[in-house]
Structure 1
Amino acid sequence: MKTGVILARFQPIHNGHLQLIKKACDENEQVLVIIGSIDKLSKRNPIPWTIRKQLVEKAIKDHSLHEKTKIVELADLSDESDNSHDWGFYLYSFIVSKINQSDFTIYYSDGFETITSWFPGFLLRNNVSLSLLARNTCEDGVSATMVRDMILADSLPEKDIVPQCVYDMRQTIKAFLNVFK
């Protein structure tokens, strides 16, 4: 079965993430959406994973993508900046355990060098395909950092940047952001 994989922290989910998920759903029979860094709470990761999962589930359902997607969560192996092959093997084995197959495509919007550093060449040649969508082409370069800053400044627009569920929960999200100000 052709499978796409999305790995993101979703701090919070925004329309760039949704664009990536839609692309993966259009090109695959099933899509595994992985919420990363579930064991971290910090300024960079201020929203607890349970709330992030709730928002991701709601956004995916609201966009009628739920029939093709499975949402799971993943703890970091070590520091989230770890781009070693240990991280790549950890991620690969986690994905294989969830989809029960060894071949898949990862949809990603960050630097090519970052994601290719995770996996040894033989996995990239034989098992892991990459579909990179440049961040600046996704929804005018929106990022979760930008969204968090807008939420803190009470300037998040209701349309075009985030799914409605994030806009509706912006005050709850803001409370978590204020903890790490």
Structure 2
Amino acid sequence: MKTGVILARFQPIHNGHLQLIKKACDENEQVLVIIGSIDKLSKRNPIPWTIRKQLVEKAIKDYSLHEKTKIVELADLSDESDNSHDWGFYLYSFIVSKINQSDFTIYYSDGFETITSWFPGFLLRNNVSLSLLARNTCEDGVSATMVRDMILADSLPENNVVPQCVYDMRQTIKAFLNVFK
């Protein structure tokens, strides 16, 4: 079964993430959406994973992408800057255990050098494919950092940058952001 994989922190989910998920759904029979860094709470990761999962599930359902997607969460192996082969094997074995197959495509929006550093060459040649949707080509280069800054400044536009569920929960998200100001 052709499978796409998306790994993101979703701090919070935004329309760029949704474009990536939609692309993966269009090109695959199933898509594994991995919410990463579930064990971290910090200025960079202020929203608890339970809230992020709730928002991802709602957004995917609202955009009718839920029939092809499975949402799971993954703790970091060491820290989120770990780009070692240890991290790559950890991620690879996690994905294989969830989809029960060894071949898949990772969809990403930036960081080609980072992603390729995770996996030894034989995995990239034989098992792991990569598909880019460049951040600057989707939703005006939106990033979760940009969204968090807009939420803090009370300047988040409705429907242009984030799914409705994030807009509706912006005050709750802001409360988490204020903890790490």
> Which TM-score tier does this pair reach, normalised by the shorter chain?
over 0.9
Displacement after TM superposition at 1:127 (Å): 0.2
Displacement after TM superposition at 1:86 (Å): 0.3
Displacement after TM superposition at 1:133 (Å): 1.3
Q: For each residue in 1:84-128, what CA deviation from the matched residue of structure 2 results, as whole angstroms up to 9, or x when unmatched?
A: 000000000000000000000000011210100000000000000
The corresponding residue for 1:77 is 77
CA distance in 2, matches of 1:159, 1:67: 23
Q: For each residue in 1:104-155, what CA deviation from the matched residue of structure 2 results, as whole angstroms up to 9, or x when unmatched?
A: 0000011210100000000000000000111111111000000000000000
The corresponding residue for 1:63 is 63
Q: For each residue in 1:16-44, what CA deviation from the matched residue of structure 2 results, as whole angstroms up to 9, or x when unmatched?
A: 00000000000000000000000000000
CA distance in 1, matches of 2:78, 2:45: 15
Q: Within 5 A, what are the aligned runs for 1:53-132? A: 53-132=53-132
CA distance in 2, matches of 1:84, 1:47: 26
The 4+ residue runs of structure 1 with deviation greater than 3 A are: none
Secondary structure of the 1:50 match is helix
Displacement after TM superposition at 1:80 (Å): 0.3
Secondary structure of the 2:34 match is strand
With the length of structure 1 as denominator, give the TM-score of the two structures. 0.99
CA distance in 1, matches of 2:158, 2:107: 27
| Aligned length, in residue pairs | 181
Displacement after TM superposition at 1:170 (Å): 0.1
RMSD of the alignment, in Å?
Answer: 0.4
| Structure 2 stretches lacking a partner, 5+ long | none
Secondary structure of the 2:140 match is helix
Secondary structure of the 2:4 match is strand
CA distance in 2, matches of 1:40, 1:62: 27
Secondary structure of the 1:77 match is coil
CA distance in 2, matches of 1:159, 1:123: 39
Secondary structure of the 2:154 match is coil
The corresponding residue for 1:43 is 43
The corresponding residue for 1:12 is 12
Displacement after TM superposition at 1:160 (Å): 1.2
CA distance in 1, matches of 2:12, 2:154: 15
| Structure 1 stretches lacking a partner, 5+ long | none
CA distance in 2, matches of 1:129, 1:150: 34
